Structures are given as C-alpha cells and as structure tokens.
Amino acid sequence: MSIRKSLRFYYKKILESLFQYIYPKPAKYFKSNNYEYIKINNIKGKRYNYKIYKENNVQVFTDDLYNLSVIKNNSLISNLSIQLDQRGIKKNINENEIFKKGTPKFKHKIKGPILVAAQGASGYNYFHWFFDILPKIYLANKIYDLNYFNFFYLPEIKFDYQIQTLKRLKIPKKKILSSKRIKFFSTDEVVLTEHPYFRKNFWWDNYKSIPKWIVKFNIKKFKFISKKNFKKNKKIFIDRADTKHPHNQISNIEDIYEIIKKNNFEIVKLTEKKFSDQVSIFRNANTILAPHGAGLKNIIYCKKKSTIIELKEKKFMNNYLYQHLSKLCGLSHTSINSKKYVKNKMFIDTNYLKKILKRYE
C-alpha cells in the first residue's frame, strides 16, 4: 500500500471513529407497523397492495450509493431501510453499513413532513427515475396531497428530465432536498412507500414483474409533455456511442451505421435531446433499433404495434426489461444477442441484423 493510500485509509478510520463518538451506531433493528394500505388497479382485474409508512422523530442516512437507513431510538427500522451490493443485490438488513461504520456525516435538523423517495445511485439512472422514484411520489399521493410535504428527499436534481418531470408534477425546486448534499438528517416526520416493484433480491429479477400501472402513470403524465411533432413513420437508431457507461457498446459500429443508413434509419443520440423531444421522437417512430440502455425506457411512448429491435451483449441476455415493457405496451419486440466481444465491446452479426430489418420492412 502506498503512503498516500495508507494516509487516506487511516484518515477515513479516524473520521469514522469521531462520528461514532458523536452519533453512536445503532445496536439493533425492528420493523415499522405504522402504515396505511392503498390498492392500485392493474391489468385483468389484478390489484397491487402497497404500504405507505409514516414515522415520527427519526433520522435518515444514505451514502447516496448502496445504502439508505431510517433510524429511530438508536435502532434501524429494517423494512424502511435498504442495503445493496455493487451488483444490485439486496443484502440482509444486518449487513447494513451503519452497523459497521455508523453515520459518518454531520446531521442536519429539518422540519417535516418529508417524503423520502431517494434510493441511492440508481436514482440517477434515467430508467429508475421514471420507474422507481416518480412512482413512489405517485403512491404517496394516493393518501397525501403533495402540498402536505415540506420537502421531498430525492437524488440530486441535475438532469433536464428530472426538472421537466418535477415541474409537471408541480413540485417546486425549493421543496427538494438532495440526497447527495444532505446525507444525514433528523426530522419530526417522514413518509416512505414500499418500492413499486422491487420484491426479489436481485434487481433484474424484478423487471419481468413491473406492474402496468407504472407504465400508465408515465404515459398519462408525460406522453404529451411536448407538442412538437417529429416526422411520423420514422425508423430510429438510438446511438449509445457517446454514453459514459461501457456496457452494450458496439465494436463494429461503423458497419452498423452503413446498414441503417441504407435502410433509411435516422441516427439519434438521446444525450443531445431534451426529455420532451425524446418523448416526441419515440411517439412518432414506427421502428426503434437500439442497444440495451436506459434510453429504451422511452418505448412506452411508442404507438401500439411499433417495432423494437434491441441489441444486447452477453451479460445482458437475461435482462428481460424491454421485452416486458414491450408486452405491456403492445409493441413487437425482438432481441439480437451478441455472441462475442471485440475490444471489450459487443460484436453484432451484420448478416443477421440485415435479415431482421428485412423482416420488418
């Protein structure tokens, strides 16, 4: 270990010890029973039951990455807290980080009621914002008028889609608490909802059971957020070449460009588009060709019977998120799974791609 790393390690340990002296670590945990039931109608007469919790005089801590902890009387409230590992697997509650490290941040005192919808790093993902964070607000709104809350504890607001959607929901900027800036606070009242679909321990395993009401909520609130109409009956290729995330990148992208141009596809980089324009693009497209990625969440705004062609690398072959959303929305979905990697990027069989595109002409 280098001297710099050693100094950093010991500095961190000293800070942890100092904060544990100021704010003693919780010693145990218990379950909250302070909730109200709400029922949400889904498809084919099926109903989803959700618990909406309210707790008084609590502390909330997050590392804004893998951990969210709700503490009362120096005990962790287990069913209101979550601990994930780097793969997105839910860990046992006794593995929650605060039992080891305590709450190593200065505590803010904030007047409630506060709606807690933050859930760590996933809240900064485009898909999870629409399918995890905003639905929590929708669920709470079934019992509470949103004006009831003094604050909304959310991931830091830094993206256009966050700003536009919160404006649509009439949540003012002055009421937003950032989980990145404020990682530890105490308050007289918090409200938390059950997660809208996270029941199984591995996040991907939950994708096939995402309820239709979440899709309907997003369509109702945001499908017509833009009145701008792009040319209809378009074929769109979603280009992920500019993303910061390394997964589902295409090694033979130049070959793909050549094929899609011959098939009259328009190349779109979603990072260059406002959220409202993204909605309009998908709303007016007939065929979407795209690598697996959060931007494909926008297929929920497509017309029924539109064609979705998803390109996936090996590691994502068992991620059935967009197959499931396509089914819920009445879309035609097919996957092209990469069978090999070239320079750590998926290689797409161009002959097979041509065959698929010809099938959907």
Residue 231 pLDDT grade (very low, low, confident, very high; cuts 50, 70, 90): low
Quick check: 302 and 234 in contact, CB under 8 A?
no
Q: What local confidence, expressed as pLDDT, does residue 135 receive?
A: 97
Q: What local confidence, expressed as pLDDT, does residue 10 receive?
A: 64
User: Is 1 part of any domain?
Assistant: no
**In a shared domain, residues 118 and 193:** yes
- Give exposure, 202-237, as e/b (b: 16+ Cβ within 10 Å): ebebbbeebbbbbbbbbeeebeebbeeebeeebbbb
List the one residue out of 191, 207, 211 whose CA is nearest residue 80: 191
Q: What local confidence, expressed as pLDDT, does residue 300 receive?
A: 97
**In a shared domain, residues 126 and 228:** no
**In a shared domain, residues 95 and 230:** no
pLDDT one-digit tens code per residue, 157-200: 999 999 999 999 999 999 999 999 999 999 999 999 999 999 88
Overall domain count for the chain: 2
**In a shared domain, residues 26 and 75:** yes
Rounded CA-CA distance 234/43 in Å is 30
Q: Which whole number is the average pLDDT over 24-28?
A: 89
List the one residue out of 71, 69, 36 whose CA is nearest residue 54: 36
**In a shared domain, residues 184 and 251:** no
**In a shared domain, residues 162 and 259:** no
Please check the confidence at residue 1 and state whether its pLDDT lies above 60.
no
User: Is 150 part of any domain?
Assistant: yes
User: Is 310 part of any domain?
Assistant: yes
Total Cβ atoms within 10 A of residue 112: 20
**In a shared domain, residues 62 and 195:** yes
Please check the confidence at residue 334 and state whether its pLDDT lies above 90.
yes
**In a shared domain, residues 247 and 200:** no
Rounded CA-CA distance 134/331 in Å is 24
Rounded CA-CA distance 183/210 in Å is 29
- Is the dihedral angle over the CA atoms 327, 331, 332, 334 positive or is it negative? negative
- Is the dihedral angle over the CA atoms 144, 181, 55, 88 positive or is it negative? positive
**In a shared domain, residues 117 and 47:** yes
Could you give the count of Cα atoms lying within 13 Å of 148 in the half-sphere of its Cβ? Answer: 15
Q: In the numeric block, which tokens belong to residue 360?
A: 């959907």
Please check the confidence at residue 233 and state whether its pLDDT lies above 90.
no
**In a shared domain, residues 46 and 140:** yes
Rounded CA-CA distance 258/166 in Å is 39
User: Is 9 part of any domain?
Assistant: no
pLDDT one-digit tens code per residue, 154-163: 999 999 999 9
Residue 53 pLDDT grade (very low, low, confident, very high; cuts 50, 70, 90): very high
List the one residue out of 168, 179, 118, 172 whose CA is nearest residue 150: 172
What is the residue whose two structure tokens read 């979550």? 82
**In a shared domain, residues 210 and 281:** no
Q: Which whole number is the average pLDDT over 12-20?
A: 75
Q: Is the peptide bond before 113 cis (omega within 30 degrees of 0)?
A: yes
Q: Which domain holds residue 347?
A: 223-359
**In this structure, what CATH number is given to the domain that contains residue 293?**
3.40.50.360
